[in-house]
Structure 1
């Protein structure tokens, strides 16, 4: 029986959060996201138009086929794995489900990636900080100043509180590991082909739009949780966080990313956004929050505290919901 009731889904999701906190996101060759990435690359080689400039519609249709196949295979394979484990024993099904849900979360992985930037920044080693920032952002990093490196990292932590935590968690609460993996495959598609450049503007259109749709509600719930987290953490500004969301979130080019970024900016008392460079070309990104000072390495740690507070609030909320269903 792989169709779990709400109590079971809550327990599985809570176990997954704890597993992610403790074990994190191991870079094993068997990690589902690695296999999803390989599938996307293989499908892209087969489906990408030989001359995408010939037909924008054809490129979009081929991109839609890429998206459909990827999410169907990811969800279908996950369903078969859970079914096989459950056929062995119900507790095997539970264990496999909790583990695979945890692989769609990345709270510890996000913290570890951010701390790789934090450590050299505090030591004045800007070259290493730039290199590690390059692992987590798509912008040019070779000329970043210290405050710009800190800004890029804080923005990544804020934005990925949605993508790497709350979104997959909510989908897990709806449909267990299969639906959580469907979300992770859609998010991976967006990170690989959802760019607005000449190569992917049409072919990646479907992947980018699907990611926007799937993150729409989670992003707004994350904003609320970040305001609540700011109220619980010492030195944070919950009112400024809420005001920042209302004032700046809609200025972001993404319908979702501006919410967590503006929430974190207001809570800490910094300004995010500004000039980013992509392939040497400067791009002005809407500014989030009110600038009271330059960003510092400690702001990276503070953004991580907000990330963990959000995950703790979500865990507590699931625990209360589970008790109410007893």
Structure 2
């Protein structure tokens, strides 16, 4: 966690990028617009990653120093909190300088929506929503799965989340082929998303966050992004959600929260909340792991 906060993702040779390249080549070999093909694709990659993680765990199980190093390295590889913050701040800096075209281009590093006609506030909202959702996906979920299942949990979760980002879309190409990846990612993020929403409420404006989570989260099409984004909106005293355009398709995510629409100033507030939330999540899952270890003795 400390290494991620200090260094962020390596710019070259990132193992997750290598996994993505492998997945791309396997997709080219297996693709067909059928759920069965997509399930085979997802199953092969996730099972292979879990197998590698299990092998590392077994080899290190009797050598505490090796286990410490292997678990720490795996954790660093799968976390993305620092890089997420850097990308969000890059968008904020462009908006603060009045460079809307540059901000529109940069926000595509964070979201998949069509940026051409986004206003400055639309770009800010997209960035805050990405910070909220990816704090769950790239920080809380890896920490939780690592605490529960060690190196296999860390690597297996990152494989699932990466495949969802690659093929878990409701486009013509991936509607059937990506179905298994999307559903598996939904399952893997059920607990982490709700822990993220709870921590956001605890660290921000608690009552509005809990109210927005309970009332507004069901309006979001994602069962996991909904609670996280709604809780962030309430915790920050703003509103998120609304209509987004993805490759010509308009998707209405409803209004999340009761405050004014997100603005440029809210990006850095969101990343500050996300940073505190990451450390709080680390404390929670570490405490849980220690309790689990004590009970198993």
TM-score, reference length from structure 2: 0.93
Question: Which structure 2 residue ranges, 5 or more long, are not aligned?
Answer: none
User: Structure 1 residue 100: deviation in Å?
Assistant: 1.2
CA distance in 1, matches of 2:113, 2:233: 20
> How many equivalent pairs are there?
293
Question: Which structure 1 residue ranges, 5 or more long, are not aligned?
Answer: 1-16, 53-58, 231-236
2:194 aligned with 1:244, yes or no? no
User: Structure 1 residue 174: deviation in Å?
Assistant: 1.4
| Residues 1:28 and 1:92: Cα distance change in structure 2 (over 3 Å) | farther
CA distance in 2, matches of 1:316, 1:64: 35
Aligned equivalent of 1:75: 50
Q: What is the aligned counterpart of 2:145 among 149, 158, 171?
A: 171
Residue 143 of structure 2 contacts residue 285 of structure 2 at CA under 8 Å; is this kept in 1?
no
Aligned equivalent of 2:123: 149
Q: What is the aligned counterpart of 1:109 among 65, 80, 83?
A: 83
Aligned equivalent of 1:309: 276
CA distance in 1, matches of 2:289, 2:113: 42
Larger radius of gyration: 1
* SS of aligned partner of 1:201: helix
Q: What is the aligned counterpart of 1:282 among 250, 257, 260?
A: 250
User: Structure 1 residue 323: deviation in Å?
Assistant: 7.1
Aligned equivalent of 1:45: 28
Aligned equivalent of 1:11: none
CA distance in 1, matches of 2:159, 2:287: 30
Deviations for 1:213-239, whole angstroms, at most 9, x for unmatched residues? 111111111111111111xxxxxx211
CA distance in 1, matches of 2:133, 2:289: 28
CA RMSD of the aligned region, Å? 1.9
Aligned equivalent of 1:227: 201
- Please give the residue correspondences for 1:22-37 in structure 2 after superposition, counting only pairs within 5 Å: 22-29=6-13, 31-37=14-20
CA distance in 2, matches of 1:116, 1:96: 32
User: Structure 1 residue 92: deviation in Å?
Assistant: 2.9
TM-score, reference length from structure 1: 0.85
2:188 aligned with 1:214, yes or no? yes
| Residues 1:77 and 1:145: Cα distance change in structure 2 (over 3 Å) | same
